[in-house]
Amino acid sequence: MEESGQQAAPAPLWQPGVQNGLTQQGTGTIRRRVDIAFGNPLHNLLRILGFMALVFVVAVAGFVLAGWSLGDAAYMVTLTIFSVGYGEVHPIDTPWLRTLAISTIVLGCTGMIVLTGALVQVFAHYQLRSLLGIDRMQSQIERLSDHAIICGFGRIGIQLARELAEARTPFIIVERSPERIAEAEALGYLTLAADATDETSLRQAGIERARVLATVLPDDATNVFITLSARNLNPRLEIIARGELPTTEGKLIHAGADKVVLPTHIGAERIAELILYPTTAKFLGDSTQLRDLKRGLHEFGLEIEVVTLAHGSALAGESVAEAERRGRGGFFIVQIDRTGGQSFVHPGDDVKLEAGDTVVLVIRGSRVAAGAVFNAPRQPGPVGRGYSLPG
């Protein structure tokens, strides 16, 4: 299980709201208990109304068969069912009429008591749903279109929800933990307290209308199952899945994921980049133009990085063309800043690199592989007859 973190929230995109002093903490659990306790009150009401209609029709038919007119029979049954007691329309002096009257009293009065309870249940049910904001939240879910579905609200889910909220992108969080649902609601996010492995829950989250689904649970098997279900429900959906083990990536792709993110791998790669390119942050500084350029290149699959050529680097004294050749097309050099103040913008192939140069690279492959070319130490030349160590 992932840890849940209490984070400062941005201006919330969704406001489920709480009324009459009820806090948002635990509303997910409460509304589930309300639905379980009441079941479907409308169905209960319709069933008892059907029972009462049957009692009325049968009783009226019984009195008509005894020789009463239809109007007298209906009037007598109505008085009996509602226990008004104005008196008998005609004498009830035969065994048939007495049996019919007793049956009408027992069934009709009992049915009216149950009907009254069903009406109270309906009113109480919908008043509680209104109190907890359940109907309003469900209506918000039904209005969602071209939205994102986040399965899981752990550490990664929290960060992802924050980024989407800041970008004003509509999304819904599907989480079965009451504690995390309460945390998400407290941050103002639209939530669905359900199990994301259940196809019914995904349908309730509007998967047919969604644009993208991100399953970021800490369990690889669960992410694979959710991916399979989501792909089956919406073949056009973009699915981004989290994987813990590198071996899970192929399984997620086979299950239908469009992209797989390995947080552990990404974290290690980012640390390696910080080690290989410590000068990049200083070079970009507070320049908005350079940072915009970096973001623009990223959209095309390119990265801008800055590396300082160390003393003893294998590229010291080599030309720009030779450096790019060793990189096998993984990068190209766009600028060289020399310690004496000299700068080469778009340097030619014959410009030599010197130790201490600040080299600006545009990388179209692995940033780690490109950094390895610049950090590789110079290898000593062969020693033997006719050779000498470089001075």
Residues 75 and 94 in one domain: yes
Number of domains present in the structure of the chain: 3
- Of 261, 292, 321, the position where a domain reaches its end is 261
Q: What is the pLDDT of residue 57?
A: 92
The answer to whether position 98 is within a domain reads yes
Parent domain of 235? 137-261
> What percentage of residues in the chain have a pLDDT greater than 90?
21
Q: What is the pLDDT of residues 67-116, one digit of tens each?
A: 888 988 898 888 888 877 677 778 888 888 888 888 888 888 888 888 88
Domain with residue 231: its CATH number is: 3.40.50.720
The answer to whether position 282 is within a domain reads yes
Residues 192 and 280 in one domain: no
Q: What is the pLDDT of residues 178-220, one digit of tens each?
A: 899 889 988 989 888 889 999 989 998 999 999 999 999 989 9
The answer to whether position 33 is within a domain reads no
Q: What is the pLDDT of residue 302?
A: 82
Residues 115 and 190 in one domain: no
Residues 158 and 253 in one domain: yes
d(CA 312, CA 299): 35
Residues 63 and 158 in one domain: no
The answer to whether position 22 is within a domain reads no
The answer to whether position 381 is within a domain reads no
Q: What is the pLDDT of residues 221-244, one digit of tens each?
A: 999 999 999 999 999 999 999 998
Q: What is the pLDDT of residue 242?
A: 92
- Of 81, 110, 131, the position where a domain reaches its end is 131
Long-range contacts of 320-329 (CB under 8 A, 24+ apart): 320/347, 320/348, 320/349, 320/350, 320/351, 320/352, 320/353, 321/349, 321/350, 323/353, 323/373, 323/374, 326/373, 327/365, 327/369, 327/370, 327/373, 329/364, 329/365
Low-confidence ranges of the chain (pLDDT < 50): 1-31, 34, 36-38, 386-391
Domain with residue 281: its CATH number is: 3.30.70.1450
Domain with residue 68: its CATH number is: 1.10.287.70
